[in-house]
Amino acid sequence: MATEILIIDDNPDIRNILNDLIVDSGYKTRLAANYNQALNEIDKKLPDVAIIDVKLDKGDNDGIELLSHIKSKNKDVPVIIISGHANIEMAVKSLRYGAFEFIEKPFDQNRLLNFVNRAVENFNLKSKNKEFENKLFYSYDLIGDSLNMNEIKEQIKKISVLDTRVFINGPTGSGKELIARKIHKQSKRNKSPFVILNGALLDANKYELELFGEEKANGSISYGALEKANGGILLIDEISEIPLDTQSKILRVLIDQKFKRINGDHDIKVDVRLICSSTKDIKNECDKGRFREDLFHRLNVFEINIDPLSKRISDIPLLIDYFSEKISSNYNIKKLEINSDNSYLLNYNWPGNVRELRNLIERIAILQPDTKEKVSNIIKESLKTSDNQDLTKETSLSVPLKEARENFEKEYLTTQLRKFNGNISKTADFIGMERSALHRKLKVLGIKELN
């Protein structure tokens, strides 16, 4: 698809000069002669690059307002501002609002064309990076054979084909966004937008602006997440962070399937499937009055709960092998050899969950150690929790041998059981004990067998 340049200038001679120059360079163009035409062209379809005159027919800063409007829709679109009334203040203002370049009239055609070529390269690079990131994210699979992960995979199969709302609970880094993306990919909305709104990252005063958008006094529109996701799926991450008064407005949208933009006077109808996620216990937040219970019941039509990685030890070796292959391929290096039975990896608490494990594998890939010992040293250094380790050592050294042995056996057998999802036969086979002897040992040590 040819790159499209939007030219906005009220002077027909300048428009024609720019049009001929850019078309001769192999680009497609669209033209606008005034503010309203420009607004219509922008809202109809965003260009890949825009060239905007500062002063049009509505005021001295028409071009800056259009620049701001484009950036509210997609901050990656490069905008070149041109002006016949240029001064330093105007140049600084346009750059502060996100202009790619500022050029004075009369302009040198070669210089302007150079700006255009650089802007196109910039846009294409950002588009490719975004496409690569999306493909990379979509290419990741939900890895694991733990009871929890197998249950989640089955849940995704069942709910993806429906249009029901979903609430995903899980600690940070556990894969909530990946699950939401898998639902989108397998749903009938997979050709429509997948939009993410992170409640934890928003300015407290901008929740409604980000959700509902705004109709500005100059007639321009800033679109919110609900409209951007129309026809597709909107993921509201960390929804527990959204203020109560905004929660009531979300509830009204769910009931009426429509809303008004900020400063708007007419209803906007939307068809959006909503997925929400949180690291907090929402039921507890409801009990404390920090989250609307009626909204929670509307959102929580189907609930998915992700266990922390520390409770899914059997998934760790599979994740290590998967990330080792995936990340090695991304870095175009030989597959990393990481011992997935490394005790540091299996016994570590993983406060950052799967994301922390993936980051560790990527760190190893970046450092590219050439021996297994160096790999092991990177793992030990990365997962070092000195206070807890020192405390454990002190405790082990301050008790009689019999008690220390019992503590070790208890920790060792508990870890192995979790590693094999509580399967007694597999655990017994791995540690070299008879099944009946393992049952007796677990009973003596007071270890409950996992279901």
The tens digit of pLDDT for each residue in 273-295 reads 999 999 999 999 999 999 999 99
Sequential DSSP letters for 239-308: GGGS-HHHHHHHHHHHHHSEE--BT--S-EE---EEEEEESS-HHHHHHTTSS-HHHHHHHTTEEEEPPP
The whole-number pLDDT of residue 347 equals 81
Same domain, residue pair 257 and 181: yes
Same domain, residue pair 392 and 269: no
The whole-number pLDDT of residue 138 equals 54
Same domain, residue pair 156 and 263: yes
The whole-number pLDDT of residue 134 equals 56
Residue 451 within a domain = no
Query: Cβ(103)–Cβ(71) under 8 Å?
Result: no
Q: Over its length of 451 residues, how does the chain's per-residue pLDDT go in tens digits? A: 568 999 999 999 999 999 999 999 999 999 999 999 998 898 888 899 999 998 888 766 788 889 988 888 788 899 999 988 767 777 788 888 889 999 988 888 999 999 999 999 888 887 776 666 555 555 678 999 999 999 999 999 999 999 999 999 999 999 999 999 999 999 999 989 999 998 887 777 788 999 999 887 776 778 899 999 999 999 999 999 899 999 999 999 999 989 999 998 889 998 999 999 999 999 999 999 999 999 999 999 999 999 999 999 899 999 999 999 888 887 788 888 888 766 778 888 899 999 999 989 988 888 888 888 888 888 888 887 544 444 344 444 445 666 667 777 777 787 778 777 788 888 888 887 888 888 888 887 888 776 5
Residue of 50, 36, 37, 53 whose CA lies nearest to 90: 53
What residue numbers bound the domain in which 318 lies?
A: 313-383
Same domain, residue pair 342 and 416: no
CATH number for the domain harbouring residue 405: 1.10.10.60
**Amino acid (1-letter code) at residue 58:** K
The whole-number pLDDT of residue 419 equals 73
CATH number for the domain harbouring residue 28: 3.40.50.2300
| Interval 329-350: pLDDT, tens | 877 888 888 887 667 788 888 9
Of 260, 278, 307, the last residue of a domain is: 307
Q: How far apart are CA 433 and CA 84, in angstroms?
A: 86
Cβ neighbours of residue 203 closer than 8 Å, sequence gap 6 or more: none
Residue 33 within a domain = yes
Same domain, residue pair 103 and 130: yes
Query: C-alpha dihedral over 181, 202, 129, 232, to 10 degrees?
Result: 40
CATH number for the domain harbouring residue 247: 3.40.50.300
Same domain, residue pair 153 and 293: yes
377-397 residues labelled b (16+ CB within 10 A) or e (exposed): ebbeeebeeeeeeeeeeeeee
Same domain, residue pair 168 and 286: yes
Instruction: Tell me if the bond preceding 106 is cis, omega within 30° of 0.
Output: yes
Of 307, 341, 369, the last residue of a domain is: 307
Same domain, residue pair 204 and 223: yes
Same domain, residue pair 110 and 255: no
Residue 232 within a domain = yes
**Total of domains in the chain:** 4
Same domain, residue pair 21 and 122: yes
Q: Which helix (H) or strand (E) holds 305?
A: strand 302-305
Of 134, 162, 180, the last residue of a domain is: 134
Record the tokens describing residue 377, joined without a space.
């040293």
The whole-number pLDDT of residue 38 equals 92
Residue 139 within a domain = no
Same domain, residue pair 273 and 198: yes
Number of other CB atoms surrounding residue 272 within 10 Å = 23
Residue 450 within a domain = no
pTM > 0.75: yes or no: no
Q: How far apart are CA 80 and CA 115, in angstroms?
A: 8
Residue tagged 């509201």 (tokens): 236
Same domain, residue pair 372 and 412: no
* CA diameter of the chain: 94
Query: C-alpha dihedral over 132, 133, 134, 138, to 10 degrees?
Result: 100
CATH number for the domain harbouring residue 324: 1.10.8.60
